[in-house]
Amino acid sequence: MSNEKQQIKEDLEAIIRALADVWPNDRENVAIAGAKFEELITGFDRDLGQLQKLIDMAWEGLKHLFENDDYFTSVKTATLQAINTIREYIVNDGDIDVKDFEKAYDDLYDALAGEKESADTLIELEEETGAAFDISRETKTLDDLASFILGLNEEISDEEVSELKALVNILIQESGEKVASALEKARRIAENLESGGIASRENWLSDISMITEEAIHIASEDQWQDDTEGGEIPGIQTTEEEERAGQADTEPEDFYIPGDIDTALMGEFVTECTELLDMAEGALLDLEDNPEDEELVNKVFRAFHTIKGTSAFMGLEPITEFTHLLETMLSMVREGEIAFDTACADISLEAIDIITKMLEVIEASEEGDRLPRPMNFDRLTAVLERVSSEGTTPGEALSAEGGLLYEVPAELDGAQAAGTANGEAKTNGSAKSSADDSPSDASVRVNVNRLDQLIDMVGELVIAHSVVAQDQSIPDHSELQKKINHTSKILRELQDTSLTLRMVPLNATFHKMNRLIRDLSRKAGKSVTLITAGGDTEIDRNMVDIINEPLVHMIRNAIDHGIEKPGDREANGKPGEANIWLRASQEGGKVVIEIEDDGRGINKKKVVEKAVSKGLVDADANLSDKEIYNLIFLPGFSSADEVTDLSGRGVGMDVVRRSIQDLKGKIDIESEEGKGTRIIIELPFTLAITDGMLVRVGGQRFIIPVLNIDQAFQAREKDVFTVMGQSEKVSIRGETVPIVRLHHHFGISDGIETLTEGTLLAIRNANKKYALLVDEVVGQQQLVGKSINMKSDMAHVSGGAILGDGTVGLILDTAALMRN
């Protein structure tokens, strides 16, 4: 360590020792410590970056200790922690976890705001009266416990466990009933640590820290009630008008991204907060079904607490203050002051939406940008302030600010509105408490662009190896042939492994649908339960975002058109609560996603009448069930009698089919009137690899996606015929389909003309079938598809792939071939 760093280290340690000995009203020693700190940081000759934020916060802590005695012990402890974190940063050349910065900043921010309030003012009264002695000793000792825990880490020693247990036991004996009850959880943690039987040691430190904060808060609240009982506190505004005026004066209009922020750090902040919000949303939806589950409450609380701390560290004050109000409401739920009900869930879920919108704006903005607050930000802030400061219930607070965020129609009674109307999520298998979640696998965050680049390079390597392996001179060298075969096996494994890196489970997508069903079912006045299966089925991450929109369209249609009102269902002998099933499975090289409901089904007669009225089909057309269902996918088609804000405009299902086809997939509909509807989506396992059938026409070779091929066959004379001397048809298993000659599309003169001499491929697209004539089927290959710019007259080509001999094969768009 250099002499300069050694001196800084010693100076900071001297400041810590001096500050540790100060007490309320000891302004002289606080001033000495503050002067040393100011002198030290003034002499720093370096770009401090994010360290400056923590230094500024530590300076605020020192000023607070000098100017007043409010929350003295809490602020002193947090200031010491902040200065010690600065010392560690200097000593370790900045090699310190950013979360240590965030924790130090967060703790001091909370202490200055009174979140770690202790009854320090009572210490001054001990000499004047003994009346407050018990409470003073109680909160003082709680601060001692907080200070002791602050010095611990996850790898706690046996001696520290014994000291922790003894300290907690003393507190339980000396504290009041409420505090003792809160500390019982801390005692159980200490006993589990002592016995070595605790199952998940990785969370014990954060849990016991929050328990201690909760106990300090309860003790302080008890004393506040004692002090204020029987009269008003001088200087406090009590009228609602004055409170509103005060809020209006301090309420920020917009918020800014700090100009000195680290862009990379801001990106990590947005990513981390998004993950925390997803976790909190899932826990909230589970909590509606299990409102007594303390671990679920703690999971949501921890998520918002972390967001509050990191946003404060990043200088995003509106998010910090907003999540602080949320955290306060959830703290009241944990302490039993309010119940977690539907109103509480509405507030929390709406808050998640608002924070998500703020994060989206932040991610798309630059340093110093002025950013507007989202819609409902002010309204929800007022609701949360009513709950936290006025002691009203969430339901009362919502009503006072204009009613429920989502109006529940009167047709649903209270039990339905609080339960099944929320869109419960069920999964196959026995339900497990959130406390039993198994630990996740170790993982590392990788930039998506790097991942895509890696997969592309592996694809190029496979192509290059294939060119070498198919060299005509290889068979003459047996040893070289063996080595190439061995390399081929390794490359195949490398390719398979690299592709799995981009695979993600569908759980997150299914989870979003759970929230969607909850909100839409309530808005539509229907009782709907979501049942999911196969959420662990994996799909290429590039396909996840694309598949999300079609799923949303189909679920909106199911709730608006398919699911009946509870009264109508019961009148038809169905349970009032409807079900929507969302399933996923992997079949060979395909991923199959099914959306099924037990609603009214599709009225085929009504669909045909609508199609006839729009001129889409002839009135005397004899349509099969599948042809009728396919009318739903036509642009602008809707069988709805009226347009609602959920659906009915005819702009959804055509988008769904187009999105699925863009992914080289297909979609089918099955329905039974009065029983329900099932939609089946088939998608390729990945977009990076094409399972293709290599075919030859004349001297040219083409690739056809295997997913679109039903069968390959050679036609017999009796199965081939023409209609009016023009349209060629072939009979396949009793079904007549048109014939498409591939050599005509590409102007290949030496292609086979006689239908019975060539090979016909039965191609299916969106339930439309045709037979494609080729000269020969060369074989099936897995190819790395590449997009290529095509001329307007080559619209039936979707891309290309490099074949084993180094030549390029065109990948055919089978749907475009049918259209053309």
User: b or e along 783-802 (b: 16 or more beta carbons within 10 Å of the residue's beta carbon)?
Assistant: bbbeeeeeeeeeebbbbbbb
Position of tokens 């974190």? Answer: 85
Tens of pLDDT, residue by residue over 217-276, are 666 555 544 444 444 333 333 344 444 444 433 344 566 666 656 666 778 888 888 889
Indicate whether 39 pLDDT > 50.
Answer: yes
pLDDT at 240: 42
What is the distance between the alpha carbons of residues 297 and 386, in angstroms, rounded to a whole number?
A: 20
Is residue 697 very low, low, confident or very high in pLDDT (cuts 50, 70, 90)?
A: very high
Q: Where are the alpha helices (DSSP H) in 158-228?
A: 158-174, 177-195, 204-228
Find all residues with CB under 8 Å of 270, minimum gap 6, and list them.
Answer: 359, 362, 363
Indicate whether 676 pLDDT > 90.
Answer: yes
Mean per-residue pLDDT over the chain, rounded: 76
Indicate whether 789 pLDDT > 70.
Answer: no
What is the distance between the alpha carbons of residues 311 and 318, in angstroms, rounded to a whole number?
A: 9
In residues, how long is the chain? 820
Token readout for 160 is 């520290």
Give the 3-state secondary structure of residue 598: coil
pLDDT at 775: 93
Indicate whether 419 pLDDT > 50.
Answer: no
Strand partners of residue 273: none
What is the distance between the alpha carbons of residues 539 and 254, in angstroms, rounded to a whole number?
A: 40
pTM, full prediction: 0.54
Tens of pLDDT, residue by residue over 701-723, are 999 988 788 889 988 888 888 88
DSSP H or E stretch at residue 713: strand 709-713
Indicate whether 208 pLDDT > 60.
Answer: yes
What is the distance between the alpha carbons of residues 607 and 639, in angstroms, rounded to a whole number?
A: 6
What number does CATH give the domain 504-684?
A: 3.30.565.10
Tell me the C-alpha to C-alpha distance, in Å, between residue 781 and each of 118, 463, 814: 72, 12, 18
On whether the CB atoms of residues 481 and 470 are closer than 8 A, the answer is no
Architecture of domain 128-229: Up-down Bundle (1.20)
Phi/psi for 124 (5° steps) reads -70, -25
pLDDT at 640: 59
Tens of pLDDT, residue by residue over 89-105, are 877 777 676 677 778 88
- Domain 689-819 - what CATH class? mainly beta
Which letter does DSSP use for residue 710 in this model?
A: E
pLDDT at 650: 42
Average of per-residue pLDDT across 47-53: 70
What is the distance between the alpha carbons of residues 679 and 689, in angstroms, rounded to a whole number?
A: 26
pLDDT at 511: 83
- Check for a shared fold between 128-229 and 504-684: no
Domain ranges of the chain: 1-116, 128-229, 250-406, 448-501, 504-684, 689-819
Nearest residue to 730 (alpha-carbon basis) of 696, 756, 765, 692: 756
Is residue 774 very low, low, confident or very high in pLDDT (cuts 50, 70, 90)?
A: very high
Position of tokens 């869930």? Answer: 345
Superfamily of domain 250-406: HPT domain (1.20.120.160)
Count Cβ atoms below 10 Å from residue 606 Cβ, excluding itself: 13
pLDDT at 230: 40
